Every structure is written in structure tokens, then in C-alpha cells.
Amino acid sequence: MSRWNVADVMTFGAVSVTEDTPFKAIVDLLEAHGVNAAPVVDAADRVVGVVSSADLLPKIELAGTAKAHATAAGELMSAPAITVAGTAALPTAARIMEAAGLKRLPVVDAGGRLIGMVTRRDLLKVFLRSDEEIRREIAGLCERAGVRVEVADGVVTLLGEVRRGAAIPQFVRRVERVDGVVDVVSLLN
């Protein structure tokens, strides 16, 4: 039921580099913008990889490895890039990050062109919704059912009696998918 998508929480206009961007220029760019990674884009602004501070560290610690001798983004980057569409739901982006062990993802348009970056921290913005905002949305889902809704710190409590008890688990799952819900306590009969 998530209505928020990646474009709602991402940073637009991510700092990027090209495959021929020199090592030192990458370090300077990351420092100047206070970021830990930059997407590597081709001439059409399509994401081909990501170069992060982790990709740069071998220059210090692993003399003799291929990355330790790399001098440009194309040799340093992690590729192929794992990206996410700006239209993707937040849970989709979270699953991609979790599965790949990533802290950030380049966000692309339908043509694979870079439009921004999304971080784990950005995905948590959905939990900044007020309790009242969450309560109103859930109340709208259960107006006819006679269910009372209370929300405290994102935890939703559902109270009341429903006509079809068999529908309770499905209703609870629906409420769990509302943006900003931390947990659901069902006291429905």
C-alpha cells in the first residue's frame, strides 16, 4: 500500500563522475560534497558503475592489487551498477539495498539515466509522518468496519468488533503496509 516512492525521499542531482575521472579528482569531489560514493556515468548519463570510498581504500591498504594501481573511475568502480527507478516503492529500494549489502543506490529514469541518489537514511523518512497523519489514513480504510484506530509513535492499535473475524489478518496486513507504520497491535474481535 506504500504510496511513497524513491523520488519522494531521494536527493536529486547526484554528484557523478565519468569513467576517465582521475583518482585524485574523485577524492576531491567526494570530500567537497560530503558524500561517500559517486555514480559513474557514460556520455549519455547512464549509470555504468559506482565508485565509493571503499573502492578507493585499496590505494592505501592493498598495494599490489589491481585497484591499488587504478588511476581512474573506470578501473576503480564497482560494476555493473545496481540502480533503482525513481518510481519504485520504498520497500523495493530497501530490499535491493539489503540483498546487495548497499548503503546507497543511484536512482535512474526509464532510460537508465542518473537522476539522483537514495540512501538508507533517506528510506527512513517515511517514518517521520505524524501519528495523526497515519491515523487519518488508516481510519479512512476502516470507516465502514466500525474499527477504532489509535496511533502512538507509529504503533497502530486497532480496537473494536468486526462482522467477519476471518478478515482480521488481511486487514492487519493492509494496515502494516501504510507508510510510517512501525507496528500493528490488533485488539479486534
Q: What is the pLDDT of residue 65?
A: 66
Between strands 84-85 and 47-52, the pairing is: unpaired
Is position 1 within any domain?
A: no
The whole-number pLDDT of residue 147 equals 87
pLDDT of residue 66: 66
pLDDT (0 to 100) of residue 141: 82
Whether residue 102 is contained in a domain is answered as yes
Same domain, 88 and 121: yes
Structural domain boundaries enclosing 147: 129-188
Same domain as 89, residue 173: no
Whole-number pLDDT of residue 123: 93
Q: Which amino acid is at 81?
A: A
DSSP string, 84-139: EETTSBHHHHHHHHHHHT-SEEEEE-TTSBEEEEEEHHHHGGGGGS-HHHHHHHHH
Residue 108 falls inside a structural domain:
yes
Q: Are the C-beta atoms of 181 and 4 separated by less than 8 Å? A: no
Q: Which of 94, 92, 95, 117 is nearest to 36 (CA)?
A: 117
Residue 149, domain member (yes or no)? yes
The answer to whether residues 122 and 136 belong to one domain is no
Local mean pLDDT, 10-residue blocks, the chain (189 residues) = 84 94 96 94 96 86 69 92 95 94 95 95 91 92 82 94 84 90 93
Query: How many domains is the chain partitioned into structurally?
Result: 2
